[in-house]
Chain A
């Protein structure tokens, strides 16, 4: 009962994060547009980087949002007591792939900024982000393998008379 309540809270939190993400993206688009134009005017040499960096950022956001949606599905399966199935393992594995795929835009961002800006602080953040994504992907992969193994045990127990 307590566990179910906790999972419901996490599910609500995920939905809240998704809604917040959407709101922040819209707000950032409105607020930062003028700043972005001002920075581009002040640094004409970097103006061409705005759109590619924005696209890479949007790629990351899309992957993150997709992972959150999958997490919501996984929590739903826990609530319905159907977590220890092969489908759940596939769901978690898909989440881990999303995190690993997030490394691609980060690598592209790293290379792109390295090619255009010398000694940019952004590269340090990109490295931290890459380590965080890789760790999350690995942990989720481990979890997916655990759930897959547990589903076999559960099947065995369910079919023991």
Chain B
């Protein structure tokens, strides 16, 4: 019997960055958060994201929160 897959929040930061042709270093400088934290967010290791960080990311990438985060 197949076990039901647990639904979770996915971070599509790499997809949005690729669309904007923006590197991790450039985004880090624009948003003002460390590369390590940004890397944690991109790889899905982060447990939570502050509204201020999300707003800064949306501003830097010119997108909506829904473009970065996905419930799947």
Contact = CB atoms under 8 A, between A and B. Distances in A.
A143 B4 CA distance: 39
A156 B41 CA distance: 13
Contacts of A155: 47
For the complex, would chain A's binding face be called helix, strand, loop or mixed by DSSP majority? mixed
Nearest to A158: B47
Interface in A131-161: 155-156, 159-161
A160 B45 contact: no
B68 to A, nearest CB: 11
Interface in B11-67: 33, 37-38, 40-41, 45-50, 53
11 contacts: A156-B47, A156-B48, A159-B40, A159-B46, A160-B46, A160-B47, A160-B48, A160-B49, A160-B50, A161-B37, A161-B48
Nearest to A155: B47
